[in-house]
Every structure is written in C-alpha cells, then in structure tokens.
Amino acid sequence: MVSTYAIPLDRGYASGNFGPDIPAGFWLGKNMIYREDGALRCRHTYKIPSGNKCGPSGTNIIEAYPGGNIIAISSSGKAYYRDYNDGSYWNECTWTGSGGAPLIGSGYRGFWGILNQTPVYTNRSDFPYLFTNNGTSFSYLAGGESGAFRCYFLNEHQNRLLLARVSSNGAMISYSDVDDINSGYTGNYVFAGESSEEITGIHNLGGNMIILREKSIWAKLGSYSKLTSDQFQPVARGISSLCGSSASGRNSIYFADVSGIIAYSGGEQKKISTFSDKEWNTRSTSPGAPNPRLSYWHAKDWLWLTDGQSYEKPMVYDAVRGVWYRFTGFSPQCFTEYSGKLAFGMYGAANCEYLFEYGIDTGETGAVESTILQELQTPFLNPGTPYGEKYLKNLLLDTSGVDKIEIYLRNNPSAPDDFPNNPQYTIYPDGDESRLYFDSSVKFREISIRLTGSGKMIIKSIAVQFEERR
C-alpha cells in the first residue's frame, strides 16, 4: 500500500541534532523565512553599498538612528549623517559644544532616546550627546557634567527624557523638565527599587513606564505628571536580566535572561527561546552567549538576536507566529528602521564602514548579495506506523530555486541522536522537478530531507510517498 505524507511547513527553526527535542513540523534551517502565503521563502538578500564610507577604512558603524536624516556613530569616535534617499553621501556631524569635539566612546553599547523629535545618544562611558533632528550638529546634553549624568539607558515618558544613571547611582532615574530636554536633571530624580540592583532597561509599554532591573521588573503606576519614588512597584522578581540588552514590540518587552530569551507582557513572563537554547548556549560561554543584543523590527514584528561577541549567525524571532529562524553569512552589529526598511551596520573587516539594507528583492535596482546558501532540513520523521517497514518510492516537490536534495534514512528509532553521516541519496534537480523516483527496495523507519539552494529558494510543499509493509 502506497501512502503519502505531507511534511508541515508551519513552524520555524529549532536547534538540536535530530533528537526528540525537536517537535514535529520544525525544521533545521538557515536563511529562510516563513511567509504569509504559506510558503517557505528566502529573504536573505541585502544591498551591497556604494559611495563614500561612514568613517575611515577598517572601522564599523556601531549604532544608527533614523532622525530627520540617518545618524550613525562610527567606531572611529565620530558621528555622521546622510539623507535617507542618498546612500552614497555621508557627512561628519559638526560639534557645537564647548571645547574641541570629543571622541565618542565605543567600549559599551550605545542607546538612543528622543524627546520632541530631538535625539540623544548615550553609551555609559560618556556624558549623553544631544543631536539636532537632522544630525548635522551635536553637543553634550544639558552642558554635560554641569547639567546631566552619565547613563546607560534613556527613554521618553510623559514628555520627559529619563536617564537611568550608571551603577554607582544604583536605581536612580534623573529626568528632564516637561518638554525641556536640556534642563531639570540635577534636581529631578526618583528611585525605582533597591539601589543595589542596576537598571538594565527603560521601556514605554502601552503608555506605562517599565523598568528592567538585574533581578526584578518595576512599573510606574498611575498617570501622574509628577514623578515620585512611591509610584514604582515591583511586578516581577527572580529574573536575571544581567546583560543590559532588551527591546520592545507587539506590546511586549523582550530581554535576555541567563536561562534564555524572555517576553514580558501584562505582568506575565514567558520564555520564548525553548527551541533555540541549545544552539544559543553552545555559541560561546554557557549559559547564553556573552552580551547578547536585541533589536525589534516593527514593520515585520521580528526580534533580532545577536551574540554581541562576533555577531555571527544572528537569529530572528517572528513574534506574530512565535517561531525562530537562523541566519548565516552576515554579522549585523546594530540595526535601525526607517520607512519600513531595516538597515544594519556590519561587524568585521570588509565593507563595515557602510550601512546595509536588509530584505531587498533580487529584482530591485542595485547590487544585491546573492551568494549565501539557503538550507532546510527536517528532523528525522516517521511518516507511517511506528514499527512498520517503509520503502521510499517518490518525493513530491512544489519548489523553486532548489539546487541540491539530500535524503537521510534511518532504521534505528531507539537511538534518536544517531544519524547517518552521509545521505543515502544526493540529487541535483534539473529545474523545478515535481516528482523524484527512488529504488523502492531500500527500507527505512525514519527519513530526513535536506534542501539547499541559493538566491531565492521557495518551498511551497514537500511530501514523501512510500510503501509500508507489516
């Protein structure tokens, strides 16, 4: 009797080594994205930049911000800006503060805040920098040491700019006067929790101020204009938000805990990294890679996660579908979003002085990265009864852009972590073949299929036809 088993395509990436920890329907894969039309499609292309560089050769763009122009911080210690529609022309920002222009530190990750369309940049080691909206000039916020404080995080709340001061100040938050970004910080301050816990993030969530601490989460209660310390109450304890990296989107705050990636919303915490922990924890220092960095792309509701060490193999969490994807071949160091596009600065030594755009269709004008392979592999699946002997007959494909198909067969389901080192079949399809035939004398209990392509691989459906004998 010939049976047909359709392999589900409704899940994302799950790390592992073909063991039972990979649920049915998940794929091992890289550089693939599940799209709204039900097909798995490659979206791993980006514009290769041209024109002048943002900083001297050999430097990196470490942070960027979408103001009236794009503002970028270079690892050279200088700031640059350019027009959104002119990717070939960067200008150095003019220092308008007192004394000579300082070199902007790059030893810590930087963060941006904004009040009334005026962007502010902080990096913990320097006094915060105040930029004009178009980025053409900058100076110290509130005159630097005379009126502001070194801080690690900042954000806007109820028309004030909040500064989470560095660890020597514990839980102290200084804030500006209403609608006045350059005044008030020395006299306006509140405490949110124990001073022994450093603040690791400030977010606006549904109009509420949420404070991430090393071991707890605090929220500002009420909508009072005046800020007082008694308005802050703990809403979660027992966390380990030690890395100082978080992002918000889709009415949730995402942060890196030593146990994995956590989503906080409505007073509840949910670990979302269950199926990616194995890879994440083996990339570098366990548990968790060092200094992870999170960024949220609101246009797609994607949470980007990099390890903050070499920025290799970024992972993406699709917050709408609740699935993970893995990428290789590029190392994004920082992200910024404008007009629905996602731009990133690259870590490394080649072309890292440029700002790239992700998600470019191959039909668009301009040079597009197209050399990176896409790859998908199923875990080992038993398409029939648990103990029946199966004989592969056909593979049914509705795909395009697939350059190689590898089929692994296994007959020992009692050893779930054991898999063949080499595929039983390797096929290089001639075009988009819809049916592949096999020698039905080879029996198997479980099957794993790997598809490899380049450019724009699309998988609409894949099914296995087999004969089962008792």
Give percent above pLDDT 70 in the chain: 80
Region 3-21: what's the mean pLDDT? 63
pTM (2 decimals)? 0.83
Lowest mean pLDDT among 123-132, 200-209, 342-351, 357-366: 357-366
pLDDT at 16: 44
Q: Is 364 exposed, middle or buried (0-12, 13-18, 19+ CB in 10 A)?
A: exposed
Q: Are 151 and 164 in contact (CB under 8 A)?
A: yes
Give percent above pLDDT 90 in the chain: 28
Evaluate the omega torsion of the peptide bond into residue 20 and state whether it is cis, within 30 degrees of 0: no
Confidence bin at 400 (pLDDT 50/70/90): confident
**Separation of alpha carbons 322 and 289, rounded Å:** 22
Residue 289, pLDDT above cutoff 70: no
> Could you give the 3-state DSSP secondary structure of residue 372?
coil
pLDDT at 458: 84
The contacts of residue 258 (CB under 8 Å, 6+ apart) are: 240, 242, 287, 288
Confidence bin at 283 (pLDDT 50/70/90): low
Domain map (residue ranges) of the chain: 2-43+375-469, 61-371
Outline where DSSP puts E strands in 268-388. Answer: 268-271, 293-297, 302-306, 315-318, 323-326, 332-338, 341-346, 355-358, 373-377
What does the DSSP 8-state code read for residue 153? E
Degrees to nearest 5, angle at CA 201 with 64 and 227: 115
Q: Are 463 and 4 in contact (CB under 8 A)?
A: yes
- Which residue, chain included where needed, has tokens 């804030």? 175
pLDDT at 113: 92
Domain at 61-371: CATH code: 2.130.10.10
Better pLDDT: 124 or 414: 124
Altogether, the residues listed in the chain come to a count of 470
pLDDT at 376: 81
Tokens of 358: 């992700």
Tokens of 331: 């190392």
**Separation of alpha carbons 151 and 154, rounded Å:** 7
pLDDT at 366: 57
* Winning range, highest mean pLDDT, from 198-212, 221-235, 273-287: 198-212
The CA R_g of the chain, rounded to the nearest whole Å, is 25
Domain at 2-43+375-469: CATH code: 2.60.120
Q: Are 347 and 333 in contact (CB under 8 A)?
A: yes
pLDDT in tens, 302-318: 999 887 666 766 888 88
Domains 2-43+375-469 and 61-371 share a fold: no
Q: What is the mean pLDDT of the chain?
A: 81
Region 407-421: what's the mean pLDDT? 74
